[in-house]
Chains A and B, each alone.
Chain A
């Protein structure tokens, strides 16, 4: 009996693609559950529709491409992409927003490039930005949080109507996001102290997530906890989250010190919008971020810089999606120029000098 040729190593770690995807999904669960609880049935329906359509789109693409459907679906990447898209949507958005979003993420964002590992841009962010540009009204109608089963919370039938029948939300149940409010007020010449008070800004509520916002983004605390757990499990590295958050915090502090009325402080920036989700779940996407530690630091810092710039001076209130996409485009360049130093070579790849200056 002769065995067919194989190469060392003959032992492997037990880490598998499926396990990695499962861990990321698990880390998203708390924030998602929180979003569903405070935004009610419509959020649940939208989440379900988005995730299911992501799986259907993936299966359809795989069938068209003649690839094994079951094996690839089971790797969990489509589930994760769909889930992330759902988390960035306004919770009471109509069902077709979820379907279109999942379609953009899976088909345009991933499969046209050849599937898992080949896409240059983060599929979820691509979907979010495309939806925002194409359907600005639906993508900026934000539901206000309400306690489950309270009078302001939509019931099952209301929920079905909101998600599937396009029932317009009752007045008083929608409102601007904090960050959008700040932007609008600023454009009307009102300073921060005024607008934040009128927007009922509360650090604790903002951190916990009791505010208008995307389905899974409002609770910065739960998103960050999920991210920290991933860090602890070594699913993601610290380089991107730390450099991204630090860049946002430093820039916000500097500008807030210069003009506290014009520029929001670091706490406001870190606890609002998609910055936490971007730092731990979006920018850390393996496929679209650089592979060397130094490159990851640059990438994270770039994301942070763009987030701050777009939020502060751009036309859109939130810049996480655009920032990540911009840095995704730079990833190949970063990967090309920022590489680890090879043993026995200097940073430019030349052999180290021998003692005595010989080469």
Chain B
């Protein structure tokens, strides 16, 4: 008798709870992983495509799916890689980022023909100028995505490493300095 009660009540409970779970899965479904939105919000959003994905959202999706390394975004640099690593709780291998020297685009004024193609493709409006006039790069806004370099017909736009001066020089880590020959 008691056994029957136990079987009936547990079966009943199972059915009810199972139904509830099924309903919840159906009506409270999360359309998309909210993590993707959060990751996308962290990305520069310039859709430059340097990571190999067609934009920041696809890159975020790849990151969440674990298909791309957190070091994928060159404009975001090391700071972004660290943020992504802590957000996604993955180990960070900085060796890849370390090797990249920050770059900036520069216009060679002797060969610029003022074709205006470059500032149409620049995702951050870092190129200024008008048709038939020599263009210039605003270094602070340039993410070195290289889109302008691709469209420039005279190869006057090139990426150059950012010049190290007293103002942006930083102490390297002691682990990076070669051991002293004592």
**Do the two chains bind?**
yes
- A residues near B, CB below 8 A? 4-7
A5's nearest neighbour on chain B, judged by CB, is B177
Pair B178/A4 contact, Cβ less than 8 Å: yes
Asked if B34 is at the interface of the complex by the 8 Å CB criterion, the answer is no
Cβ–Cβ < 8 Å partners of B180 in chain A? 4, 6
| Whole-angstrom distance between the Cβ of B74 and the nearest chain A Cβ | 27
A7 with B178: CB separation less than 8 A: no
Interface residues of A: mostly helix, strand, loop or mixed? loop
Across-interface contacts of B177 in A (CB, < 8 A): 4-6
Q: Which chain B positions have C-beta within 8 A of A5?
A: 172, 177
Other A-B pairs beyond A4-B177, A5-B177, A7-B174, 7, CB < 8 Å: A4-B178, A4-B180, A4-B181, A5-B172, A6-B177, A6-B180, A7-B171
- Bound complex: CA A7 to CA B174 (Å): 9
| Distance, CA A261 to CA B29, complexed state (A) | 73
Q: Which residues of B contact A (CB under 8 A)?
A: 171-172, 174, 177-178, 180-181
Q: How far is the CA of A5 from the CA of B170 in the complex (A)?
A: 12
List A contacts of B171 (CB < 8 A): 7
Give bound CA distance, A5 to B178, whole Å: 9
**A4 to B182 alpha-carbon distance, docked (Å):** 11
- Assembly CA distance A7 to B180 (angstroms): 12
A282–B180 Cα distance when bound, in Å, is 36
Closest-CB distance, A69 to chain B (whole angstroms): 19
A contact residues around B172 at 8 Å (CB) = 5
A4 vs B177: C-alpha distance when bound (angstroms)? 8
Chain A: CB-nearest residue to B181: A4
Question: Closest approach, in angstroms, between the C-beta of A12 and any C-beta of chain B?
Answer: 13
Task: Give the Cβ gap from A5 to chain B, nearest Cβ, in Å.
Answer: 5
Q: In the bound complex, how far is the Cα of B171 from the Cα of A5, in angstroms?
A: 9
Question: In the complex, what's the smallest C-beta–C-beta distance from A144 to chain B, in angstroms?
Answer: 55
CA distance A7 to B173 in the complex (A): 11
Q: 10 A-B contacts, Cβ less than 8 Å apart? A: A4-B177, A4-B178, A4-B180, A4-B181, A5-B172, A5-B177, A6-B177, A6-B180, A7-B171, A7-B174
Output the least CB separation between B166 and chain A (Å): 15
Q: State how many angstroms separate the Cβ of A3 from the closest Cβ of chain B.
A: 8
**Cβ distance B178 to chain A, nearest Cβ, rounded Å:** 6
CA distance A241 to B174 in the complex (A): 36
A122–B178 alpha-carbon span in the complex (Å):
35
**Contacting residues, chain B, for A6 (C-beta < 8 A):** 177, 180
How far apart are A68's CB and chain B's nearest CB, in angstroms?
A: 13
Question: Across the interface, which residues of B come within 8 angstroms of A7, CB to CB?
Answer: 171, 174
Closest to A7 in B: B171
**Bound complex: CA A6 to CA B172 (Å):** 10
Measured between beta carbons, the chain B residues less than 8 angstroms from A4 are: 177-178, 180-181
B43–chain A nearest beta-carbon distance, Å:
33
CA distance A6 to B171 in the complex (A): 9
Q: Closest approach, in angstroms, between the C-beta of A2 and any C-beta of chain B?
A: 12
User: How many Å lie between the Cα of A6 and that of B177 in the bound state?
Assistant: 8
Chain B min CB distance to A232 (Å): 33
> B66 to chain A: closest CB distance in Å?
29
Q: How distant is the Cα of A179 from the Cα of B177 in the complex, in angstroms?
A: 57
Closest chain B residue, CB of each to CB of A3: B180
Given the complex, which residues of A lie within 8 Å of B181, measured CB to CB? 4
CA distance A5 to B174 in the complex (A): 9
CA distance A4 to B174 in the complex (A): 11
Given the complex of chains A and B, what is the CA–CA distance between A6 and B174 in angstroms?
8
Task: Kindly report which residue of chain A lies nearest to residue B176, judged by CB atoms.
Answer: A5
Residues of A contacting B174 in the complex (Cβ-Cβ under 8 angstroms): 7
- With A and B bound together, what is the CA distance between A5 and B59 in angstroms? 39
Q: Which 5 A-B pairs have the closest CB atoms?
A: A5-B177, A4-B178, A4-B180, A4-B177, A6-B180
Q: In the complex, what's the smallest C-beta–C-beta distance from B58 to chain A, in angstroms?
A: 41
Residue of B nearest to A6 (CB): B180
Chain A: minimal CB distance from B16 (Å): 46
The distance from the CB of B175 to the nearest CB of chain A, in whole angstroms, is 13
Closest to B171 in A: A7
Closest chain B CB from A326 CB (angstroms): 32
Alpha-carbon distance between A205 and B172 when the two chains are bound, in angstroms: 61
User: Once bound together, how far apart are the Cα atoms of A129 and B172, in whole Å?
Assistant: 45
